[in-house]
Structure 1
Amino acid sequence: MGIPNEEAIKQFRSLMEEVDDEQLKNTFKNMHQGYPTETLVRFLKARDCNVAKAHKMLVDCLQWRIQNEIDQILAKPIIPVDLYREVRDSQLIGLSGYSKEGLPVIALGVGLSTFDKASVHYYVQSHIQMNEYRDRVVLPSATKKRGRYIGACLKVLDMTGLKLSALNQIKLLSVISTIDDLNYPEKTDTYYVVNAPYVFSACWKVVKPLVQERTRRKIQVLQGCGRDELLKIMDYGSLPHFCRREGSGSSRHCGNGNTDNCFSLDHAFHQQFYDYIKQQASLMESVSLIRQGSVHVNIPEPDPKDAMITKTIETEFHKLENQNGLSKSLNGLKVGL
């Protein structure tokens, strides 16, 4: 049930044409950016081509967008800029370039993201803004440049620095994952995992069988920094800075200064991104109306299967933590003897 057939798409389209709520229609237009059929296909894929389930998922998504004013979120900058810089320094994500096929390459510093410089609401706001900027600006620009529809990106996940202490971040990561799964399905073509330490490998071995086959096929765990494999699908200039040489160390600081570090606010992508949000706020004359505070977004209930995966990760981390503690105790005993 991988690719929706024409009949399923036709049925789904008919159901959406029956929607007479103007707000739902408007937010759907803002979401599909001129490609309604491709959007329907994404939701069908996310629900294994079940039209009724895909329709419910999409309507729930549109209602979530209306209730949380997602269409206006790109006009709500995180201010002051020093606070936004702290968010960027602790939530490592950036656009490093494009694949040879024209897909945006999104880099994520999973292992070194600390999420400890601001409230949860700021991180959720920042993540949704990144999603919306990708969908409303980056992907349409890539589509125009390539002359064909580009509706998804590639993600390179750097596990450098991943430790058992990351257990403290699982709740927030689960929230972000739930938002993506329910409201931005099928926006990632492939996930490339690089610089994976033992902690990741041990957890992935247990979690992998629980992940849906559709998602599992998208995940590729590469050797080391993944440079040689990634160079088959993108040019050197589009490689995330942490993939450019083996043993590059911290994904936070390697590269030739902050302008090469796609996580940094000084990187061209983030400068353009933040400037865009400020411009949108100015156009809406909303800057003076924004109280200094985060945007609070309702978090949808996660799919029971996803909740089970999160619980499994927590359990596995606790096991590793206990094993690590026992190992330290035994080492200490040896030293004492």
Structure 2
Amino acid sequence: MVQKYQSPVRVYKCPFELVMAVSESLMCTASPGFLVHGDFVPTSPNIQYDFVFLPSQIAGVEYVIFIQKNTVNWKERTLLIEAHNETFANRVVVLETCSYSVHPENEEWTCFEQSASLDIKSFFGFESTVEKIAMKQYTANIKRGKEVIEHYLKELISQGITFIPRWTPPPASTQKAKRTQAVRHSLGIFPHMPHFSPELLFSSSPADKLDADYIERYLGQLTPMQESCLIRLRQWLQEAHKGKIPKDEHILRFLRARDFNIDKAREMLCQSLTWRKQYQVDYILQTWRPPSLLEEYYAGGWHYQDKDGRPLYILRLGQMDTKGLVKALGEESLLRHVLSINEEGQKRCEENTNQFGCPITSWTCLVDLEGLNMRHLWRPGVKALLRIIEVVEDNYPETLGRLLIVRAPRVFPVLWTLVSPFINENTRQKFLIYSGNNYQGPGGLVDYLDKDVIPDFLGGECVCNVPEGGLVPKSLYQTDEEPENSDHIRLWTETIYHSANVLKGAPHEIVVEILEGESVITWDFDILKGDVVFCLFHSKRAPEISRKEATLSSTSSAGDNVQLIDKSWVLGVDYSRMESPLVCREGESIQGSHVTRWPGFYVLQWKMHSPLPCSGTSLPRVDDVLASLQVSNHKCKLMYYFEVLASKDFRGSMSSLESCNSGFSQLSGATTSSNQSQSSSLISR
């Protein structure tokens, strides 16, 4: 595989002629042991011949010959240097190009660009390894040439050489004399010429996206190879994606996420760009308006910045009713809200970069887990969380600078065990976890946040306006009859929950076929109206619904109500009860699981609950009469979800948390929690 390098544009804040004078004076300082052929006097210390050091050392060759061609255009003020190897040409192909030109926005500045490629065609089977080692050696010294020229520019300035006149075409009769004079001038002293400011020479340049100084100012310190990857991927995007391309910091995030492997980063970035275009994510900050319910119950918000200038986002996860939010708003609204948070975070990073004068490319998230309990380990909610994590990991890599988790309760290791495998290893290394109150004092939040920024609910002095969350009223839960706003962008098409109506004498039933014993049936449902009785039955026969009953069911007011157990079936003969009847009252949320003993057909049944009949000698109670009237006049309504788990997947599953082990022992080395690994025995109802 050919190894390539492409530099950004490096700017010398001095005229082209002065840079040429330095290059010319350095001609005789070429590295010993190299034979350089050139058809023009000036050469450049930026040219590196380290590519063939390793092959020459292995082969025992004393001299390595390069062919170098220098082409100068004094009128256009350009210099092009092209070099290739003569030694090992049948095994190693080295091409290197350097160019000097006038800055397009300031004719008193000089731009420098450099590119190189290395292709080892044959080297005892170690071609790829030698290429990578040689390129690493090459880039390790790539900035040395710029430093050498800057050093000698300072030397010239200290001697009073601050200006060299530009070339002008001489008369034909004196052309030879003028050329000799120009060479002497380039090496001479001109104390009478206007002074050139040394401060301008090495000051920061404007935000030119092709400028190396711009990269350092707005993107951070990069190695020469990392700069090359950024420039090459950016150039590819400009050629392949005509028109708008991502910002440089956005491209750099994908490169970092793939350890600067251009091919992998390009694939990941292109998939993300397609995703953004398909779902119009670029416009989400202009189009998304969170529902009032989300603004009230979503316990998260932006809060100043940390000590490094990163925007700070606070999430009071322990106080947030994730289950209620999913049921009331659906996954679409939550996902869109999370995407808007990420888009806002990128915007704030740009603002802080301009404000603080240093690159800010990520943000800090402070997660308070006070109040986290088993309600947060609700399986569909965790599944929704994992889907959100997947979308964010794929499309917003390297945006999280640090994650501070405080007041982690004893149930947190279970959640961590379930979620951590889906989080990228680079991201997990940024987690700092504190249990109890050990986030206070040295080694705690004060190491990352100023005291006047720590929220009041964590013992700080700053009043935090992040909503406190709370339980979402069940009256706000959605059903299939109340779909999400049609204006929302559909990112997920499947529906987790189904709704059903239950009438007197017309139960709602679901059949689940089990092919192997020791499987696990899990369920989760909410009673939205009325009282119902839940049962689980088993039969070796497959329940069938008759054509007549199917017709009646489709035309009845129950809508999606389905009855599967035939009226002629005898309990204890045709089918058997596997779970005792459970009376579920209006407003209750029920979760449970059943380990199957035998293969066959299992039926989940919900039927309307009727008060027990009164004996003939006693008078009916007022409560029974009122309940009877309520049942006769209203239908019951419920939302349900069920899933079948294989026996090998049951232990430690999200809905049947049995004998789960602590996940603290699996946390990164950066974790500051002093808690020891401990086991929990948690059984979901």
- The TM-score normalised by the length of structure 1 is 0.68
Structure 2 residue aligned with 1:179: 391
* Distance in 2 between residues matched to 1:57 and 1:236, nearest whole Å: 39
Q: 1:241-261, CA deviations, whole angstroms, 9 ceiling, x for partnerless residues?
A: 43226xxxxxxxxx99xx633
Alignment-derived partner of residue 219 in structure 1? 431
Q: CA deviation at 1:204?
A: 3.3
Offset of residue 132 of structure 1? 1.5
Task: For residue 207 of structure 1, report the CA deviation from its aligned partner.
Answer: 6.4
Structure 2 residue 509 is matched with structure 1 residue 151: no
Pair 314,122 (structure 1): closer, same or farther in 2 beyond 3 Å = farther
Shift, 1:111, TM fit = 2.2
CA distance in 2, matches of 1:187, 1:63: 19
- 2:330 maps to a residue whose letter is S
TM alignment of 1:95-174, pairs within 5 A: 95-115=302-322, 116=324, 117-136=328-347, 138-168=348-378, 169-174=381-386
1:285 matched residue in structure 2: none
User: What are the superposed Cα offsets for residues 245-285 of structure 1, whole Å, 9 maximum, x if unpaired?
Assistant: 6xxxxxxxxx99xx6332369xxxxxxxxxxxxxxxxxxxx
- Post-superposition Cα deviations, 1:269-304, rounded to whole Å, max 9, x if no partner, equal xxxxxxxxxxxxxxxxxxxxxx9655224259xxxx
Match of 2:656 in 1: 318
Distance 1:45 1:68, change over 3 A: same
Q: In structure 2, how many angstroms separate the alpha carbons of the residues matched to 1:243 and 1:293?
A: 40
Q: 1: CA distance between counterparts of 2:241 and 2:423? A: 37
Superimposed CA distance per residue, residues 175-196 of structure 1 (whole angstroms, 9 cap, x where no aligned partner): 2211210111111111111110
- Retained in 1: the 8 A contact 2:318–2:371? yes
SS of residue matched to 1:173 = helix
The structure 1 residue matched to 2:405, chosen from 170, 189, 193, is 193
Select the structure that is richer in strand. 2
1:260 — aligned with what? 464
Change (3 A) 1:317 1:200: farther
Cα distance in 2, alignment partners of residues 151 and 210 from structure 1: 23
Q: What residue in structure 2 maps to residue 240 of structure 1?
A: 455
Q: Does residue 72 in structure 1 map to residue 283 in structure 2?
A: yes
Q: CA deviation at 1:99?
A: 1.1
Instruction: Specify the alignment match of 2:259 in structure 1.
Output: 48
Q: CA deviation at 1:61?
A: 0.9
Structure 1 residues 181, 210: closer, same or farther in 2, change over 3 A?
Answer: closer
Question: Residue 49 and residue 163 in structure 1: after superposition, are their counterparts in 2 closer, same or farther (change >3 A)?
Answer: same
In 1, the alpha carbon distance for the partners of 2:407 and 2:237 equals 44
Cα distance change of structure 1 residues 260 and 211 upon mapping to structure 2, 3 Å threshold: closer
- The AA in structure 1 aligned to 2:321 is T
Quick one: which of 488, 491, 513 aligns to 1:298?
A: 491
Asked if structure 1 preserves the Cα contact closer than 8 Å seen for 2:313 and 2:365, the reply is: yes
| CA distance in structure 2 between the partners assigned to 1:118 and 1:210 by the alignment | 24
Contact 2:234–2:251 (8 Å) recurs in 1: yes
Determine which of 221, 227, 233 is the counterpart of 1:12: 233
Cα distance in 2 for residues equivalent to 1:158 and 1:312 = 30
Q: Which moved more, 1:6-15 or 1:176-185?
A: 6-15
SS in 1 for 2:411: helix
Higher helix share: 1
Partner of 2:72: none
Deviation at 1:317, TM superposition (A): 6.2
Taking the aligned partners of 2:652 and 2:234, their CA distance within structure 1 comes to: 40
Q: Is the 8 A contact 1:12 1:55 kept in 2?
A: yes
- Indicate conservation of the 8 Å contact 2:386/2:419, yes or no: no
Considering Cα pairs closer than 8 Å and 6+ residues apart, tell me whether 1 or 2 has the greater RCO. 1
Counterpart of 1:90 in structure 2 is 297
Q: Shift of the alpha carbon at 1:69?
A: 1.0
Cα pair 2:652 2:658 within 8 Å, conserved: no
- Long gaps (5+) in structure 2: 1-221, 470-483, 494-648, 661-680
Question: 1-side partners of 2:650 and 2:415: how far apart?
Answer: 9
TM-score (norm 2): 0.35
Which whole-Å deviations, capped at 9, do the CAs of 1:154-207 have from their partners, x for residues lacking one? Answer: 111111222222233112211221121011111111111111011113443686
- Cα drift, residue 312 of structure 1: 10
Quick one: which amino acid aligns to residue 361 of structure 2?
G
Count of aligned residue pairs for this structure pair: 265
Distance 1:98 1:87, change over 3 A: same
CA distance, structure 2, for counterparts of residue 134 and residue 50 of structure 1: 25
Structure 1 residues 208 and 124: alpha-carbon distance in aligned structure 2, compared to 1, 3 A threshold: closer
Relative to structure 1, the CA distance from residue 141 to residue 7 in structure 2 (aligned partners, 3 Å threshold; closer, same or farther) is closer
Residue 332 of structure 2 contacts residue 492 of structure 2 at CA under 8 Å; is this kept in 1?
Answer: no
Confirm or deny: 8 A CA contact 1:95 1:105 kept in the other structure: yes
**Contact 1:153-1:188 at 8 Å conserved across structures:** yes
Unaligned runs of 5+ in 1: 246-254, 266-290, 301-310, 329-337
Asked if structure 2 preserves the Cα contact closer than 8 Å seen for 1:65 and 1:71, the reply is yes
Deviation, structure 1 residue 208: 5.5
The residue type equivalent to 1:240 in the other structure is P
Look up the SS of the partner of 2:318 in the other structure: coil
| Structure 2 counterpart of 1:204, from 403, 416, 419 | 416
Cα distance in 2 for residues equivalent to 1:185 and 1:135: 11
Mapped contact 1:154–1:189 kept (Cα < 8 A): yes
> Structure 1 10/260 Cα, relative in aligned 2: closer, same or farther at 3 Å?
closer
Distance of 2:652 and 2:232 partners within structure 1: 41
1:158/1:242 contact within 8 Å kept: no
Distance 1:150 1:197, change over 3 A: same
The offset of 1:104, in angstroms, is: 0.9
Would the alpha carbon gap of residues 105 and 7 (structure 1) be closer, same or farther in structure 2, given more than 3 Å must change?
A: same
